[in-house]
Chain A
Amino acid sequence: MKKYTYTESKDTRSGFGAGLVEAGRQNEHVVALCADLIGSLKMNDFIKEFPERFFQIGIAEANMMGIASGLTIGGKIPFTGTFANFSTGRVYDQIRQSIAYSNKNVKICASHAGLTLGEDGATHQMLEDIGLMKMLPGMTVINPCDFNQTKAAALALVNHQGPAYLRFGRPVVPNFTPYDQVFEIGKAVMLNEGRDVTIIATGHLVWEAIKAGELLERLGIDAEIINIHTIKPLDAEAILDSIKKTGCVVTAEEHNRFGGLGDSVAQLLVREFPTPQEYVAVDDSFGESGKPAQLMEKYGLNAEAIIIAVQKVLARKELQ
């Protein structure tokens, strides 16, 4: 197992904030919008440097999506910022008609995704957003794993043409992606090559997958670990290459098991290479208040849950 280390833990939303200000420096057409959550989205640096290119919308997310759509008419590249819940479910029809169907170059940037926003509870814990967004034709869906990768993803979106959804979170997590790693939209990142099982993880579950890989090694299981930061378009080639080698797969995500990364992988496999698969995902429920680590344990979204899933899928593979 390849060794992964980190010197600091940081939140992915701060990665977004850092990427946004850098994006603003690189391209004068980049503008930012926020619905009364500047501090939470870490947009302060952008506002300080480019006050005339920032639009405070107030608590009016539907209007924000419409304004973002309109800003593209005139050549702007708008980045909207609010929580994942208010970035997707609350404004689905606005995104569908004014952005996706109209093919507007809007970057919908969503913080506090998943269970790990913690104490605020289920009203704010969005677990359906990947599904909602990936169902929209033409929408790119990205869920990076740490600070460096989120920063790189935000920057990569500047040169990407078309609507995109960038999903990130609230808590600090290990920052292990090399700061200079090139972010290629739609391209999987191979974290560890192995023979026995493929673990495909996205977002906060990527670090859990690495921890699981280390523990599995001690059990004599050689896991291949892939970071899928782009759920749509999915890197089918990388996934199929791996699974043809290992013969079984575990997908891991901080999302409902309906409609997330697991379903995207399953759909690919059922058509191209039917393979035993286990899901590490929320089992069709809402979240609740609690500390992030407590929630991830209770809802089965950590390294231990990945190991259990690996053992299950290996048993199924042997039966074949």
Chain B
Amino acid sequence: MLTIPAAIAEEMIAHACELKPHECCGILGGTRESVSQHYRITNILANLSESDLARFDAPKLSDLKQLSPEERADIAFQMDSQEMGNALRDIRDRGVSLQAFYHSHTMSPARPSQTDITIAMEFEGYREKLNLPEPLHIIISLLNIESPDIRAFRIRNHEATEVPTTLV
């Protein structure tokens, strides 16, 4: 169970709507009981060079290369590493912990793609070295723009399992 204050959920949805048609991304911090910190992180995908795109899996890389840099941010995201580092540091300084990474799917349902799962598993390989707790992965779907859908997933062993989310 993940509890997100309604004000933070509204900020996440606002972030996703502002960046549409690009994907937005961000980080949530807090405690097991409730999210208390929200960080918007810049999606730098449009600024990545072709060689930097090699961090994506082959099918996604093939899709990305067919698009202009601007269009690439419509179907994928790459967090700015400095902003991500600053957010993780701020979370630690506040005495809370990493709870979730989030991003938006502007034209598809709120469930992790194969690329999301591959990269989440890759991060799992680094996470324990950094002494970070296992994060959830939240997707905000704008498929129905009148009613954005926020869903959280735990990604383990290359499988995504939905974790109930409560807005309070």
Query: Do A and B assemble together?
Result: no
A contacts, CB < 8 Å to B: none
B contacts, CB < 8 Å to A: none
